[in-house]
Structure 1
């Protein structure tokens, strides 16, 4: 088991290195001067040169790539020269020096995602820390919606196989999987937040916390979570419904279910005590993969509903060409996706030793 875990962690590190490399070179070759993006339109050539030297933009691209890896690494190397980009600024890196040799200091730190171009003096880590909890809450809520409604619809669809209820649920599931998230978001916001606002009391846009009418303090608005959570959960809901139906139909054909029927147990008791648990296995497998996808899929949903999460922050950063935030956010989402999938693989390997072979 230890060998299997080591293999999976090594695979995760290689995958993450590939993601970092793609992100860096993809945004480095984009047209435009990063120093000019940071200073705006009122810059002088002298100011541009200072910013380029400070952030290493005047170095060859592969040297900049080395700087980027050094920033992301928890164990990093720093120069003793204050003019160097890699000079150990403890406040900047939040680093703990380990030892110094030949003018180079080795330090222990959390990954440094650099600073925002547009939000002066604010680190990318702080920006992500402010928005990621909202996205995580939205993703968890969407998964809960998908699990509860998907399992119930799947059970009804299996119990009434080939009847009108089954066909209606299958039609809705197919429609849910085919509709793009941004279209569903616009439709739900207009229908339930505008047309039916008098009955639903839901808003077209809004985040978890909003300023009160006097603009003095933030107030919790949980109702703003309802529409984006439903929209984000539509596609996994459709998948869960289909999986639950097919899995339950397969389980209901097993010998032990026939034995339970022969003993006179009701259909509801058979499903509750015997069939449901075994039928949920493929559903849990699908949900574990969907949760990581929720973080990436939340981008358009958050932007349309005005939900102040990481997805909306990415769109705003794209509009403002705030490259460090874009790179940091994509890297964080990719890291979480990789870690969740690796964790699921390790759990599978623990539950079923055949997988480790």
Structure 2
């Protein structure tokens, strides 16, 4: 296991390096941030001064070399707009995105697995058809349309929940979170549901498929023949065996929830990194864009590593191969 982790860390460093080259070249070679940062009547002297201050007068390869040298020291550049270290700006917004992604993931697990179990155990019934139809809608309907419908129904027509912002926050175990206040929870409900709908559908279909593949197997038949209670057969024998692919997919999907929360955060004006990256792209704040992508890639790598470790713990056969 130790050798496996060390090997994955080396792979992670290589992935980060390649990603930094591609992203830096792509972002810094496109557009001119001076067109946005400076007024239209700025003089050539002012443009030259800002260009030199931002280091944009140097060749691209030199700019990347300086970026890489600073990145190895934890400095991913200074935001053109906020005039703060880009990593600091991202870390200020990241807790809000993590909170939203975590709540969406919990909803996907809490709702998706029971519905998937029910659908798999009652395959072909009206219950199964209803659940699968709902999962298809969750996959098919665009995320932004779902968000607008949630706002229209629960905020505009019914007036039950707020539609924008994060609301009041409090602290739980020293962590600032919306879950600490009722107002914060109210603001969190709609964006969390919107972000989780596609993942709920995915977990339902994955669980249903796992149940249908596992139920006919010999060890399930043997457990039934021993007279074990149906609930024990389902939750101990069946669910334990289908958890491996579910955990793998859920771990990867948590990374995608963080990376692709942009639409949800924009619709609900949620103050996370998704909204930050959209604003930064619009104003060509290059250090923020590069730092955001590298942070997201790093999170994907860490999440995938944790998933692999959990995978090995759940299935000793996999652990023995490493």
Give TM-score scaled by structure 2 length. 0.88
In the alignment, what sits opposite 2:25?
A: 25
CA distance in 2: counterparts of 1:116 and 1:40, whole angstroms: 18
The answer to whether the Cα contact below 8 Å between 2:95 and 2:272 also exists between their aligned partners in 1 is yes
From 76, 100, 107, the counterpart of 1:145: 107
In the alignment, what sits opposite 1:258?
A: 221
- What aligned pairs does 1:82-161 form with structure 2 within 5 A after superposition? 111-119=74-82, 121-161=83-123
Query: Going by fraction, where is helix more abundant, 1 or 2?
Result: 2
- What aligned pairs does 1:23-62 form with structure 2 within 5 A after superposition? 23-32=23-32, 34-35=33-34, 37-41=36-40, 43-62=42-61
Larger Rg: 1
In the alignment, what sits opposite 1:238?
A: 201
- What aligned pairs does 1:309-348 form with structure 2 within 5 A after superposition? 309-348=272-311
Structure 2 unaligned blocks of 5 or more:
170-177
In the alignment, what sits opposite 1:195?
A: 157
The answer to whether the Cα contact below 8 Å between 2:244 and 2:311 also exists between their aligned partners in 1 is no
Where 1:114 maps in the other structure, the secondary structure is coil
In the alignment, what sits opposite 2:189?
A: 226
Deviation at 1:349, TM superposition (A): 5.3
Where 1:249 maps in the other structure, the secondary structure is helix
Where 1:342 maps in the other structure, the secondary structure is helix
Give the 3 Å change call, closer, same or farther, for CA 169–313 of structure 1 in structure 2: same
Where 1:209 maps in the other structure, the secondary structure is coil
CA distance in 1: counterparts of 2:290 and 2:167, whole angstroms: 25
Deviation at 1:269, TM superposition (A): 3.5
The answer to whether the Cα contact below 8 Å between 2:28 and 2:286 also exists between their aligned partners in 1 is no
CA distance in 1: counterparts of 2:297 and 2:64, whole angstroms: 19
From 129, 135, 139, the counterpart of 1:177: 139
Deviation at 1:293, TM superposition (A): 0.5
Deviation at 1:161, TM superposition (A): 1.0
What is the aligned residue count? 308
CA distance in 1: counterparts of 2:41 and 2:312, whole angstroms: 58
CA distance in 1: counterparts of 2:107 and 2:39, whole angstroms: 44
In the alignment, what sits opposite 1:284?
A: 247
For the pair 1:353 / 2:312, whether they are aligned, the reply is no
In the alignment, what sits opposite 1:100?
A: none
Query: Going by fraction, where is strand more abundant, 1 or 2?
Result: 1
CA distance in 2: counterparts of 1:354 and 1:40, whole angstroms: 64
Deviation at 1:310, TM superposition (A): 0.6
RMSD: 2.2
Give the 3 Å change call, closer, same or farther, for CA 2–269 of structure 1 in structure 2: closer
CA distance in 1: counterparts of 2:281 and 2:40, whole angstroms: 18
In the alignment, what sits opposite 1:104?
A: none
The answer to whether the Cα contact below 8 Å between 1:35 and 1:57 also exists between their aligned partners in 2 is no
